[in-house]
Amino acid sequence: MPEQDVTVGQLLLAEYESVKGEQRARIGFRDNLLYVTLAVGAAVIAAAAQAKQPSMLLALPPVCVVLGWTYLVNDEKISAIGLYVRDDLGPRLAELAAHGGRFGTFGWEAYHRTDTRRRSRKVIQTVIDLTAFCAVPLAALVVFWSNGDAGGLLVALSVLEALAVVGLASMVVWYAQGA
């Protein structure tokens, strides 16, 4: 069996396929987190309403913070992979292909970012993220607080949950500004 040499170009293309595979997997996982959050939120709200126990709403903020943070981290990694392909991997492959000449690779990685409506979509997505992961649990806390018959420990817990949700909201906005 003849020995085959692997070229640098083949290695770079293999790396590209690998990081794009990771990016695709993360996109699917990230997008499903929004649906999971909506389903969990509806389930918690329905259970609390049916049981007439506003304290059950305290389950919603930690769930939304964990799912929201996981969503945010995956979204950041998706963007980081795109940046790596655009700014590092693509130029290295282009250099090999053109032997020092001018040659572009993976044009879609940069092209789709030039869409004139991209900014408005990012703003809308940020509002959706803030609503799903932050506004809903904060509304649940307001309902809990307005009930008025909770013990001091539950109120203290709810304040900590509110701080965690506000912290997540600030991170959602911060990450959106860098995207």
Q: What single letter denotes the amino acid at residue 157?
A: L
- Give every CB contact of residue 40 below 8 A, 6+ residues apart in sequence: 60, 63, 64, 67
Which one is predicted more confidently, 13 or 40? 40
Tell me which residue has tokens 């945010």: 72
What are the percentages of helix, strand and coil residues in the chain, rounded to 5? 85, 0, 15
pLDDT at 131 over 90: yes
Per-residue confidence (pLDDT) for residue 101, from 0 to 100: 54
Structure tokens at 21: 């595979």
**pTM of structure:** 0.84
Confidence of residue 43 (pLDDT cuts 50, 70, 90): very high
Determine the average pLDDT of the residues in 89-107.
Answer: 71
Spatial distance between the Cα atoms of 84 and 16, rounded to a whole number of angstroms: 10
Q: What single letter denotes the amino acid at residue 75?
A: D
pLDDT at 19 over 70: yes
Determine the average pLDDT of the residues in 122-150.
Answer: 94
- Between the alpha carbon of residue 165 and those of residues 49, 62, 64, 69, 70, the distances in Å are 22, 8, 8, 10, 13
Angle at 125 between CA 112 and CA 136, to 5 degrees: 165
Per-residue confidence (pLDDT) for residue 39, from 0 to 100: 97
Per-residue confidence (pLDDT) for residue 110, from 0 to 100: 66
Q: With contact defined as beta carbons under 8 Å apart, do 99 and 123 qualify?
A: no
Q: What percent of the chain has pLDDT over 70?
A: 89
Structure tokens at 107: 């044009």
Structure tokens at 114: 């030039």
